[in-house]
Amino acid sequence: MTDFLRDFLFGAVYSLIGISSALPVVWASFSGTANMTLAPFSTINVLATLGALITYTSVFGQYGVRNFFICSLIAFLFHIGRLSVYLEGEDKRFRVLFLSMGFTKKEYVTTYLLRRCTKRNVASVLICWGLFTLVFVLNRVSPGHELSKLSLGVLLIILGFTSSLLDRKE
């Protein structure tokens, strides 16, 4: 039972670290303070993240300092991918309306997008938390079979990137 609680807490910690590091990057990009595009991150979805987690934990394990940084990076990429897809859709729809009413882009981001994105942020944290906890518990329950986990992870990564590229609306 203590191992499950530890996996549960690690999943929560990784998810919260990922969202807390992704939010400033996303908001800086959409408010215009940073000149960067988030379009490449939109290819990272649930399948690709699950595949990366299964692949990494089947090869390297899940505890340690290096693993903490890698899992935090995976959580960051997951959150930035989900938020960039959602905010790009919102940004295209309502930006012209708000800018025509006299608001600046920073006011638009802070007054409208921040409020609309709150539920999406909570959902993103819960989904990431669930993915990490699922992978950690499954690694503990079924030790061994690293080759099958590795092939499953690579297949999920390929499926995730392919499905996100085919779903793009440009």
For residue 140, the surrounding DSSP H or E stretch is helix 118-141
Please give the tally of structural domains in the chain: 1
pTM for this predicted structure: 0.83
Q: Which domain holds residue 82?
A: 2-166
For residue 27, the surrounding DSSP H or E stretch is helix 2-31
8-state DSSP, 101: T
For residue 78, give the 3-state DSSP assignment: helix
- Show pLDDT as tens, one digit a residue, over the chain (170 residues): 688 888 888 889 999 999 999 988 888 887 767 777 777 888 888 899 999 998 888 887 767 788 889 989 999 999 998 888 877 776 666 677 777 777 777 777 777 777 778 888 899 999 999 999 988 888 887 777 777 888 888 999 999 989 888 887 65
Q: Which residues contact 110 (CB under 8 A, 6 or more apart)?
A: 31
